[in-house]
Amino acid sequence: MRGPSVMLGVSLVVSCSRPTAIVADPVPNVKDATIAPPPQPVVADASVLEPLPCAIPEKPVDLVFSIDRFIQPIGTASREERGEVTAHGTCTPAVECVKIAEASLAHILELFRAAQHARHTTDPTSPHYGSRTLTARFSSGSCTVLDGSTSPILHEDRAVFYATFDAIIDEIVGARDGGPPP
């Protein structure tokens, strides 16, 4: 229940975060008052962040997918690994880039759209967890999904994120070896 309620002729606001007894009708005699049970709020897990997927055009001709992995090992210098795949887009200079078949790119796009729905948590984790980033870049914008130490993806949603990440890695590694991965 939201808004003002009447309790023995006194106005009060009922908060969903703090259950409050509500008197059904104003009654001059307290011992005759009927107490209704407090409202049962729907409480979401405050540590879960729901995704806000961005719009990717249906078939962007210049689509480029990039992955970025930041590694923060204990006791040694951090490092970053990057790679990109595209069928007809322009890759970032000085970043390993592989031209792939349109069918492969369409498959990665389908995976990426699913990965955008991965939920994150605000629960603290080690900074040594590092981060992994998926980005879809096209002429009218870009969309990014991040799995990092400040907002890791929920364990139960990681498979969809890593299916996309691994599909991009497979294309890059397959091109290095002279063909698609087994």
Kindly list the domain boundaries of the chain, sorted by start residue: 4-42, 64-176
Helices (H), 16-141: 102-115
Each residue's pLDDT tens digit in the chain (182 positions)?
A: 333 333 323 222 222 223 333 333 344 444 444 444 444 433 345 566 666 667 888 888 899 999 999 988 888 888 899 999 999 999 999 999 999 999 999 999 999 999 999 988 878 777 777 889 999 999 989 999 989 888 888 888 999 999 999 999 999 999 987 765 44
Report pTM. Answer: 0.69
Distance (Å, whole) CA 89 – CA 66:
12
How many residues make up the chain in this entry? 182
